[in-house]
Amino acid sequence: MELNGKTIQQNVIAIIPARYASTRLPGKLLREIAGKPLILHTLGQASKARNVSRIIVATDDERIFRVVADAGGDAVMTSTEHRSGSDRLAEVAARLPATSIVVNVQGDEPMISPRVIEAAVDAFVSDDAADIATTCEAIIDTEELMSSNVVKVATDESGYAVYFSRSPIPYPREAVSRFRSLEDAISSKPQILSLFRKHTGLYVYGREFLLEFAKMPQTKLEQIEMLEQLRALENGAKIRVVEVDEGSIGVDTPEDFERVKKLIEGNR
């Protein structure tokens, strides 16, 4: 089936980049939750998405490869030299059929909702102008807003990304001037928090764009913010941003892991 020139369903392939190394939580993808490694929870959630036809775990580690393969999953070994998850995706995408649609699902999100994946894929295939589709969520508190680990996104009236930043954007200048700080402004007027959106790390691309993107040199803004999606914006890409209401939790720290573990095991 084709929609706006994009072949869907049979050629939608989710790739889960799965590195063993992690600065803050080494080996996190193999840590067990409810009796099985974290990576298998992510794989299981992605497999429930109705508009994804195939899921591949792309790893640089034999242990992750073996865990996925032994569970009946589709795993491939990739280079240990990649700088980013997108580069790892591109290595796998180069082997896929032309016109494939590639979904980048972060390996460390074992609670990702299949409906979020579906929403991003649907947005991409229904928008002929989009080079990438991604997702965002409401920001729930000031701590999350002020954290540099939480990426914020600002969009235009048509729902395309204008900028991504680790800083709060857009900046409510009048409110901050009145209350002297952003934190005080939100404390006095909680509705200000509704201005902000958190960017989540789910992406949908056409295969050809992904291969082109991986060849682009790093850009100045990307290097400053350490956000590779800025490379796409700086090169003129149109990024459709879809707001979703089912949040996920990326496991980056021991505290994140314990929180996710309690949530998953508590629901069983």
Domain spans, the chain = 2-266
Q: What is the pLDDT of residues 157-183, one digit of tens each?
A: 999 999 999 999 999 999 999 999 999
Task: Give the pLDDT score at 123.
Answer: 97
Residues 101, 93: Cα–Cα separation, whole Å: 9
Q: What is the pTM of this model?
A: 0.91
Q: SS3 letters for 155-172?
A: ECCCCEEEEEECCCCCCC
Q: Beta strands 36-37 and 6-7: pairing type?
A: unpaired
Can you say whether the dihedral through the CA atoms of 192, 137, 219, 222 is positive or negative?
positive
Q: Which helix (H) or strand (E) holds 250?
A: none
Task: Give the pLDDT score at 188.
Answer: 96
Q: What is the pLDDT of residues 129-162, one digit of tens each?
A: 999 999 999 999 999 999 998 999 999 999 999 9
Closest by Cα among 241, 230, 234 to 164: 230
Residues 97, 103: Cα–Cα separation, whole Å: 14
More confident residue, 68 or 252: 68
2-266 to CATH, choices 3.40.640.10, 3.40.50.10260, 3.40.50.1860, 3.90.550.10: 3.90.550.10
Tokens, residue 152: 């914020």
Quick one: what percent of the chain has pLDDT higher than 90?
Answer: 83
Confidence of residue 248 (pLDDT cuts 50, 70, 90): confident
DSSP string of 79-118, one letter each residue: -S--SSHHHHHHHHHTTSPTT-EEEE--TT-TT--HHHHH
